Structures are given as C-alpha cells and as structure tokens.
Structure 1
C-alpha cells in the first residue's frame, strides 16, 4: 500500500514538474531574440516580436498536444454561453472603464508602437497577438502553471490564482505603468474563473483571443482617425 502511494506521489510530482517546465521554457524562449545576429535590424523592421511569437507557438503547442492536453483541466472543457458573456463583460470593464477610474490618460507606448507598424510588420505582429499568443499563454498560465501551483498549494484555488496572475502580469515587461500591470492581474483572474468554471482551456483561450482582437481593433481605429484628422 505504501509503495503504491509513493509511486503515485512520484508520478504526480513528475507531472507537476513538467507543467512548471512549460512556463520556464516559455520564459527562456522570450530571450532567444537577444542572440539573433540581426536582432537590431529585426527590431527596427518590426519583425522581431512576431518571430518570437511564432517561435513560442511552434515549440509550446506541439509539447502541449504530446504531453499535456489529456491532463485534468488542460483539455477543451465546456463552453458556457452564459459565463462567456459575463466574463467578457468583466474583461471589457477592466480594459475600458478601469483605466479611466485609475486616471490613465495615455495609452502605453508599446501598444501604440504595435498599431503604428506598417505593411506586413503590422499584420504579422497583430495577427500573432490575436491568434497565436492567447493560445500558448492560456496553455502555459491558466493551464500548466495553474495545475502546478494548485498541486503545491494543496488545491487552494485562491492562492493559486494570486500567484499565477502575479506572474502573468510581471511577464509582460513591455509595460511601464504599474496600473497596466494591475489590469493584467485582474484580466488573469477573469481568465482563471473561465478555466475553473469550464474545467478546460477553450473558454479562456477564446476570451483571450476576443479581448486582444477588440483592444487592437479599437486602438488601430483610433490611430487611423487621429492620423486622418
């Protein structure tokens, strides 16, 4: 009996270590552009970020399908229309009402840079932000990392959500305003609710995609109006 318990503990510990390794791998890939011989030219042309996004996607997604998609909470789950509408409404409040409440009058410089790109750099960057980044970020943060910390915190969802959301916010180093990091923390909390309620990743992934598409679309529209005026 004791041997069976020990074996089960070893198996689960290895599984959790594998989940955390996905986060560390994504973190490591983030710095790979620094080692590109033409990183300065790629950054200047606006191609460095989409290259990194595609690289992360091509590495992390196959690993997910091979090792993680059948694990508890890492499958599709169920997509509830009621909860989807409620949670997307919460995301819209955080994205568009909270900044005014916090006195944020200027859009982050990084966001304006992305919607100001030209030609293929604009499309590669923003389509990646809409369709690629949300998929692997949800797999890593609301999927693998959530599972790992939930195990370490003895299934305490509230403690797990606090740590995962903090890491999610801090990983977005392109933002300079602490209030933006607070917004990211809250967005992560909403996406965690989606993950817990749906018992899977389809709902948080879909919410994340729709959020990015909405924010980028509105920012681009504002940019076009300002430039034409």
Structure 2
C-alpha cells in the first residue's frame, strides 16, 4: 500500500513539474528578444510582439496537445452559454467601466503605439492579439500553472487563483500603470472562474478571444472617430 502511495506521489510530482515547465518555457520565450540586437528594429516596425506571440504559440500549443490536453481540467471542458454570458459581462465591466472608476483615462503608451502602427503591422498585431495570444496564455496560466499551484497549495483554489493572477498581471511587462495591472489581475480571476465552471480551457480561451477582439475594435473605433484625442 505504501509502495502504491509512493508511486502515485512520484507520478503526480512529475505531472506537476511538467505543468510548471510550460510556464518556465513561456517565461524564457518572452524574454528571448533581449538577447537579439535585431529586436529593437522589429519593435520599431511593430513586428516584435506579433513574432513573439507566434513563436510562443508554435512552441507551446503542440506541447500542450501531445502532453497535457488529456489531464484533469486541461481539456475542452463543458461550454456553458449562461456562464459565458455572465463572465463576458464581467470582463466588459473590468475593461470598460472599471477604468473610469479608477480614474484611468489615459491609454497606456504600449496600446497607443500599437494602434499607431502602419497598416500591415497593425493588422498583424491585432490578429495575433485576438486569435493567438489568448490560446497559449490560457493553456499556460489558467491551465498548467493553475494546476501546479492547486497541487502545491493542496487544492486551496482561492490561493491558487490569486497567485496565478498576480503572475499573469506581472508578466504583461508592456504595461506600467498599477491600475492596469489590477485590471489584468481581475481579468485573470474571471477567466479562472470560467476554467472552474467548465472544467476545461475552451470557455476561458473563447472569453479571452472575444474580450480582446471587443476591446481592440473599440480602441480602433475611438482612434478613427477621435484621431486627435
């Protein structure tokens, strides 16, 4: 009996180590541009972030598909339209109403720089932000990293969700305002609820995609209607 328990412990420990390694890999990929002199030129042209998002996608998503998608909570889960609607409304509140409450009326410099990109770079940036980044971010943060902390914290979901959300906010190094980081923390909390309610990653991925698409569309519309603001 003791041998079986030891074997189970080893298996679970290896599984958790694998989950955490996905986060470490994404962390390493995120900072690879620091080691390449050409990165500054790509950043100036607006191509650095789309290429980085694409790199993280092509590395992380296949690893997820072959090694993680059948693990507990890391599959598609059950899509619930009612919860999707409720959580999407919560995300819209965080993105559109909360900034007014917090007095956050000036757009982050990184967002402004993305909107001001040349045509092809702008579309490339938008497409990767909407359809690529949400997929691997949900796999890593609400999937693998959340599972790892659930194991380390003995299934204390509230603690796991707080730690994962703090890391998620901090990893968005392009933002500098603490109020923006608070919003990212809350966004992560909502997406974790989606993960828990659906017991999978499809619903948080779809919420993340629709949220990014809505926010970007509104930002582009505001830029078109109020170009001098």
Report if TM-score (shorter chain) is over 0.5: yes
- Structure 2 partner of 1:143: 143
Please show how residues 165-180 of structure 1 align to structure 2 within 5 Å: 165-180=165-180
CA contact (8 A) 1:112 1:219 kept: no
- Structure 2 partner of 1:129: 129
Q: Distance in 2 between matches of 1:228 and 1:156?
A: 48
CA contact (8 A) 1:20 1:145 kept: yes
CA RMSD of aligned residues (A): 1.1
Deviation at 1:120, TM superposition (A): 1.2
Deviation at 1:228, TM superposition (A): 8.0
String of CA shifts for 1:78-137, please: whole Å, max 9, x gaps: 110100000000000111111111111111111111111112111111100000000000
String of CA shifts for 1:10-46, please: whole Å, max 9, x gaps: 0000000000000010000011122234212111111
String of CA shifts for 1:33-88, please: whole Å, max 9, x gaps: 22234212111111111110100000000000010000000000011010000000
How many residue pairs end up in the alignment? 229
Instruction: Give the secondary-structure state (helix, strand or coil) at the position aligned to 1:163.
Output: helix
Instruction: Name structure 2 gaps, 5 residues minimum.
Output: none
- Structure 1 partner of 2:210: 210
- Structure 1 partner of 2:106: 106
TM-score, structure 2 length as denominator? Answer: 0.98
Q: Distance in 2 between matches of 1:165 and 1:29?
A: 20
CA contact (8 A) 1:84 1:207 kept: yes
Q: Distance in 2 between matches of 1:192 and 1:21?
A: 20
Q: Distance in 2 between matches of 1:75 and 1:227?
A: 43
- Structure 2 partner of 1:23: 23
Instruction: Give the secondary-structure state (helix, strand or coil) at the position aligned to 2:106.
Output: coil
Q: Distance in 1 between matches of 2:68 and 2:115?
A: 34
Q: Distance in 1 between matches of 2:13 and 2:228?
A: 57
The range that moved more, 101-110 or 66-75, is: 101-110
CA contact (8 A) 1:83 1:194 kept: yes
Q: Distance in 2 between matches of 1:94 and 1:227?
A: 24
Instruction: Give the secondary-structure state (helix, strand or coil) at the position aligned to 1:75.
Output: coil
- Structure 1 partner of 2:2: 2
